Structure 1
Amino acid sequence: VLYFNYCCPWAHRTLLVHGLKGLEDIVRLVEVDSRDQVHGWWFSGRRGPDRDPLYGGRFMKDLYQRADPNYNGRVTVPMLWDTKYETIVNNESSEIMRMFSEAFDDFLPLEKQERNKGDAALVPQHLQKQLDVLNKWVYDTINNGVYKAGFASSQGVYKEHVTRLFQSLDQLEYHLGEGEHYPYLFGEHITEADIRLYPTIVRFDVVYYTLFKCNMKMIRLDYPRIHEWLRRLYWNEGLESAGGVFRKTTNFEEIKRGYTSVAAGNGIIPAGPVPHILPL
């Protein structure tokens, strides 16, 4: 079972691989729809179930403590649960992504198995080193960079991280302008790099620009290549996107609801931008 929340970008990347691989009948999805300041993630019933469908608990921490009765660390999503051994498999999104990419291949049709996909694999062998290099700086300065800027403890720290963030977005814009990096980050096929970047970019104009003060530039106005890349993924309903998994897993209202409760603190959901994403 994969426990997730639609607001969380780290959970979003695991949902994308889950959908692209066609794991619906193998790994069950359970939405944890609310977050409490004291108890953390919990099942409110507002959108998802009002209790954990496996054990009946109201809070995610119940699952963490079922796996380890002495656990007192952070309770996070995504979280992958083993129903046979009744324990946590993993709660680190990049590791869950890799598991979803290959670990269940023996249960999938031949065309969905990574070993049979060649250049269309999520992590093609001939690109693995390049993917790892790009993923590393994208994580540090963009995926995590928006949080470093948004939760900066001083003006100086904010300036440092917001500057690095936009330098990296500039670098991505240049990267997408190179012939071999079109229409996706490493050419004609969607790779793990696209999946890791997408949750941050699709949230950028909607929440990070305003709530996290990442407002030097907007994706839709200032980064034409990144903007085209984003819209191509979001609006794609072909086989390569498993019938539109990027759009189907992007819930803008939940994203805004979640971030306004965390960053703004008052839970008032902003109306814009209108539209949330432009047509391709």
Structure 2
Amino acid sequence: MSDDTSGSGYVAGGQEYQRDSNYITDRITADGAGGWKVEPGRYRLVVARACPWANRSTIVRRLLGLEPVLSMGICGPTHDERSWTFDLDPGGRDPVLDYERLQDAFLARDPHYSRGITVPAMVDVPTRAVVTNDFAQITLDLSTEWTTYHRDGAPDLYPEHLRDEMDDVMQRVYTEVNNGVYRCGFAGSQRAYDKAWTRLFTALDWLSERLAARRYLMGDTITEADVRLFTTLARFDAVYHGHFKCNRQKLTELPVLWAYARDVFQTPGFGDTIDFPQIKEHYYVVHADINPTKVIPMGPDTANWLTAHGREELGGSPFGDGTPPGPVAAGEEITAGHGPGGIAHR
């Protein structure tokens, strides 16, 4: 979704950035009322490590321990106008779907499909057709519809008693921060950029104030709201500060948010899904209209993500009465090191 593949350019001259939100909104539910029933092994979650929207689903899947029942296909960090591709896999084909391009799964669903080919996407393995690419609903359904298959000790990421407030917080995080960085980066005029920049940092100031006295966005434990904010913060200094001109401050210069981001990053299920080299390669190569040279920056040094954050003093615990997820599933490990520039140590 980061950056769907519906066209060659991302900036509309003279205009504010408008995200295409026309998704396939089918849902996979416990009762299968909409035609898609939760079943172990039936679906494949297709993601890209680079994409913040797909990163949400990789985190939630891992926190809930759904790896044994929901397989994951991983696209490479770059794509062309047609589609995300499985160029990281042997022979350049997804080993389960036997596709070279994610586009093929969309065309299997609708031979005339003409919208963006986006990640994350849930694909029905028997038919090899996309079920949904509605990124916001996918993670909520993993929390609420797949409960039969959650691991012992899995966190409740969408607590019923917090949902009204959570929905408001997540909506503001989405419009002002998750999408706000894109409004800055893809602004087609100075006026559009200035407006987007102001909105973004107004929201970051609000978040700093909210998190000054509470460990997580909704209180003492991690929820879906933290997942959604984290995937943008993880990319802020590596990409958004420079590439998208979100440059009032770096994340490392916002004391509360930087400590919060490190706290979450160091929690199992979060930092172990972040691949800084792939993130940088995606943005700086794919967005050729705002980085025509396709030169990828060496920095920043990402070792500082592993430094002490001190947020334990606020109390709380990431999983409440639950437990952290176990080791990363075989074959899904991040091979990039956290060294100067986040350069992979392979």
Output the TM-score relative to the length of structure 1: 0.88
Q: Which amino acid aligns with 1:252?
A: F
1:166 to 197, 201, 205: 201
Which has the higher relative contact order, 1 or 2, with Cα contacts under 8 A spaced 6 or more apart? 2
Q: What's the counterpart of residue 258 of structure 1? A: 282
Do the aligned residues in 1 keep the contact of 2:83 with 2:102 (CA within 8 Å)?
A: yes
How many Å separate the matches in 2 of 1:48 and 1:266?
29
Aligned pairs for 1:218-257 (under 5 A) are 218-221=250-253, 223-236=254-267, 244-257=268-281
Are 1:193 and 2:225 an aligned pair? yes
Q: What's the counterpart of residue 54 of structure 1? A: 96
How many Å separate the matches in 1 of 2:142 and 2:90?
23
Q: Which moved more, 1:84-93 or 1:196-205?
A: 84-93
Aligned pairs for 1:130-141 (under 5 A) are 130-141=165-176
How many Å separate the matches in 1 of 2:239 and 2:255?
19
Q: What's the counterpart of residue 94 of structure 1? A: 136
Q: Which amino acid aligns with 2:47?
A: F
Q: Deviations over 1:200-253 (max 9, x none)?
A: 0110011100000000111111x21111110001112xxxxxxx2111100111
Aligned residue pair count: 261
Do the aligned residues in 2 keep the contact of 1:33 with 1:48 (CA within 8 Å)?
A: no
Aligned pairs for 1:1-280 (under 5 A) are 1-45=44-88, 50-112=92-154, 121-178=156-213, 182-221=214-253, 223-236=254-267, 244-263=268-287, 264-275=291-302, 277-278=304-305, 279-280=307-308
Q: Deviations over 1:148-207 (max 9, x none)?
A: 1100000000000010000000000011123xxx21112210011000100001100111
Q: What's the counterpart of residue 14 of structure 2? A: none
Output the TM-score relative to the length of structure 2: 0.72
Stretches of 4+ moved more than 6 A in 1? none
State the 1:145 CA deviation.
0.4
CA-based RMSD: 1.7
Flag the 1:36–1:177 CA change in 2: closer, same or farther, 3 A. closer
Q: Which moved more, 1:251-260 or 1:121-130?
A: 121-130
Q: Which amino acid aligns with 1:257?
A: E
Do the aligned residues in 2 keep the contact of 1:15 with 1:249 (CA within 8 Å)?
A: yes
State the 1:37 CA deviation.
2.6
Do the aligned residues in 2 keep the contact of 1:257 with 1:269 (CA within 8 Å)?
A: yes
Q: Which amino acid aligns with 2:45?
A: L
Flag the 1:272–1:63 CA change in 2: closer, same or farther, 3 A. same
State the 1:261 CA deviation.
0.8
Q: Which runs of 5+ in 1 are unaligned?
A: 113-119, 237-243
Q: Which amino acid aligns with 1:226?
A: L
Identity of aligned residues (%): 33
How many Å separate the matches in 2 of 1:12 and 1:277?
21
How many Å separate the matches in 1 of 2:83 and 2:151?
38
Q: Which amino acid aligns with 2:236?
A: F
Do the aligned residues in 2 keep the contact of 1:206 with 1:276 (CA within 8 Å)?
A: no
Flag the 1:48–1:74 CA change in 2: closer, same or farther, 3 A. farther
Q: Which moved more, 1:51-60 or 1:131-140?
A: 51-60
Do the aligned residues in 1 keep the contact of 2:56 with 2:227 (CA within 8 Å)?
A: yes
Q: Deviations over 1:10-55 (max 9, x none)?
A: 000011100000011111011111433332211223x676112234
Q: Which amino acid aligns with 2:259?
A: E
Do the aligned residues in 2 keep the contact of 1:101 with 1:122 (CA within 8 Å)?
A: yes
